[in-house]
């Protein structure tokens, strides 16, 4: 369910930005739900000290992908869980280092329009992604939802996730209480 929040925050540190936005998203959706747990997440790409959000256009995506090509950068995802009935909430973040392959101008032009809704103008949906050379840390964080961190937070609400490795063909196995 889209939160409808404006993705701006007063923080400057990537982990604080992503946690704050994740919590704002979760709270906004929780206000529309009578009960249940609401999960909010926000992702930000950081190259050196530069914060890279979502591109505003295909040309913006091309500029971002050109900057990230051949670099190692960090992917931060803030995650928040809000109990809609009580208002109780918990939040945390995950950071993963990603080394992107050196991309040719032709590849950049071709893929730039694929992920205009993603920080860094790219997405990793499989373990052997053609754009990414190496992932150091939680692979699921780069996909967009850090499952280890989420599982730890949900555990404090009495819920445990069970999933297959991203390298298995099984995918999600479900949520267990």
The rounded distance, in Å, linking the Cα atoms of 33 and 84 is: 6
Residue 169 CB neighbour total at 10 angstroms: 6
The rounded distance, in Å, linking the Cα atoms of 101 and 176 is: 38
Q: Is 20 a catalytic residue?
A: no
Write the CB contacts of 125 (distance below 8 Å, at least 6 apart in sequence).
143
Catalytic residue among 42, 83, 117, 129: 42
**Buried b vs exposed e over 60-82: b needs ≥16 C-beta within 10 Å?**
ebbbbbebbbeeebbbbbbbbbb
Catalytic residues: 42
């Amino acid at each position: 369910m889209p939160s409808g929040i404006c993705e701006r925050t007063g923080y400057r540190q990537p982990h604080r930005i992503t946690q704050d936005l994740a919590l704002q998203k979760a709270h906004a959706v929780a206000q529309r739900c009578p009960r249940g747990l609401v999960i909010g997440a926000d992702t930000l790409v950081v190259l050196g000290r530069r914060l890279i959000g979502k591109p505003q256009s295909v040309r913006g995506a091309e500029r971002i992908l050109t900057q990230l090509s051949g670099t190692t950068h960090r992917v931060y995802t803030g995650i928040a869980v809000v109990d809609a009935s009580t208002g109780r909430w918990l939040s945390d973040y995950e950071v993963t280092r990603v080394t992107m392959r050196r991309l040719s101008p032709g590849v950049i032009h071709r893929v730039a329009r694929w992920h205009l809704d993603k920080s860094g103008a790219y997405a990793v949906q499989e373990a052997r992604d053609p754009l990414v050379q190496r992932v150091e840390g939680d692979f699921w964080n780069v996909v967009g939802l850090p499952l280890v961190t989420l599982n730890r937070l949900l555990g404090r609400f009495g819920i445990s996730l069970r999933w297959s490795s991203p390298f298995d063909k099984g995918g999600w196995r479900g949520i267990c209480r």
